Structure 1
Amino acid sequence: MVRGVRGTWCGTLLLAGVLVAGTSGCGPETPAEPGVPPSGTSGPAEPGTTPAPGTPTAPGTSTADPHPAEVLVEVVVNGGLAGVSNKLVVHADGSWTSRSGTEEPRTGRQTPAETARLRAALEDPAYARVPERPTGDPVADGFQYYVTYRHRLVVAGDGERPAALQRVFAALPEGGPPTNP
């Protein structure tokens, strides 16, 4: 009987030692700033980001039901004859913001069906196979498109827009990437 109690007691002490050592701050780490989790611990994800596929999430959270303000996709367009530098951000709830040059940003909201269509185009396995970098010759005075979805950046030019990328562009608000100056 004493042996069984002693084994349990030792296990408890070992567990307590591991817990204390893991949170004691020993080692080369510096204290975290207020509101910032210490290094080596996981805290909340940066606002507006989507965890990479396979990234563990906190208990009780799901990547299938994202936070409404979470960025679904970001599209940046550069180039053209006028030298545009425009940006479109679509959030998981379908709200979007488009910035063109020095103009005031435009905002709107896709319908749930439109947002589902965009999400389906982004999650299509064919889109996952779109090359991340241009493979052909650039078009003189053409646009460069930078599409970021789930931490994956796809760069394409006017001369090479595979069908899967075209489906994403067709599902974007305002008829596609912002190319107006």
Structure 2
Amino acid sequence: MVRGRGVRGKWCGALLLAAVLAGGASACGPVTPPAPGGPASGTTSAAPEQPESQASTAPTAPRDEPRPAEVLVEVVVSGGFAGVRNQLVVHHDGSWTSRSGTKPPRTGQQTPAEVAELRAALEDPAYALVPSRPTGSPIADGFQYSLMYRNRLVVVGDGERPPALQRVFAALPEGGPPTSP
């Protein structure tokens, strides 16, 4: 049974149990399937409820805190006369990898100040207002730039770099992925 607070918690627990037995979901939150090796479908294992004062008080890390090796931003440049597709990935710790065509990847490390500037540019409210898709006419044999930051994809073409986006590119290692094949 799901522990909760007061009457609402008991109702949510009852609704959740009914939803699990019926194979559906409840309004109290998502239903997760039993772990492998857990009880068979249609059976339950009741655990004794503990008073809230005895509940686990182990500290947990904030979920918003990224791990150093997680990707901060990914930038891909594609197009051009030669049809390039080059990529730059910057991690939260400032380490980065640039891939260009069939050449071996290049790696590097930004200083803490450079990482802070990149984060500031990406978190700037003006950057959040940059349109997600190109707004101008495409340039023949021009490049298209795709930036992924916090599950938001921004795609712009050559000549479509508003000041907030220029600030992001200026803070990227080597100004972003190369445009050469």
Query: Fold match, TM over 0.5?
Result: yes
Q: Which residue is 2:171 aligned to?
A: 171
Q: 1:32 to 1:79 in 2, by over 3 A?
A: farther
| Letter in structure 2 aligned against 1:85 | R
Q: Which among 28, 49, 72 is matched to residue 23 of structure 2?
A: 28
Q: Aligned residue for 2:61?
A: 60
Unpaired segments ≥5 residues, structure 2: 1-5, 25-31, 37-58
Q: Work out the CA distance in 1 between the residues paired with 2:141 and 2:116.
A: 33
1:61 maps to amino acid: P
Matches within 5 A, 1:2-81: 15=10, 18=13, 22=17, 25-28=20-23, 31=33, 34=36, 59-63=60-64, 65-81=65-81
In structure 2, the partner of 1:162 is 162
TM-score by length of 2: 0.70
Is 1:92–2:131 an aligned residue pair?
no
RMSD over equivalenced CA pairs, Å? 2.8
CA contact (8 A) 2:70 2:91 kept: yes
Q: When the two structures are aligned, how many residues end up with a matched partner?
A: 146
**Does the residue aligned with 1:113 lie in a helix, a strand or coil?**
helix
Cα distance in 1 for partners of 2:169, 2:81 equals 21
Aligned partner of 1:151 in structure 2 is 151
Letter in 1 for 2:22: G
- C-alpha distance after superposition, 1:36-81 (max 9, x if no partner): xxxxxxxxxxxxxxxxxxxxxx953142x42101111110110111
1:179 & 1:123 partners in 2: Cα distance?
A: 25
- The match for 2:128 is 128
SS of aligned partner of 2:21: coil
2:140 aligned partner, one-letter code: A
Matched residues in 2 for 1:17 and 1:111: separation?
49
Structure 1 unaligned regions, length at least 5: 1-10, 35-57
In structure 2, C-alpha distance between the alignment counterparts of 1:83 and 1:173, rounded to whole Å: 22
Percent identity (aligned)? 67
Looking at structure 2, the residues matched to 172 and 165 of structure 1 have their Cα atoms a distance apart, in angstroms, of 11
When normalised by structure 1's length, the TM-score is 0.70
State the distance in 1 between where 2:138 and 2:34 align: 46
- Report the equivalent of 1:180: 180
CA distance in 2, matches of 1:107, 1:22: 51
- Contact 1:138/1:159, CA 8 A, preserved across alignment: no
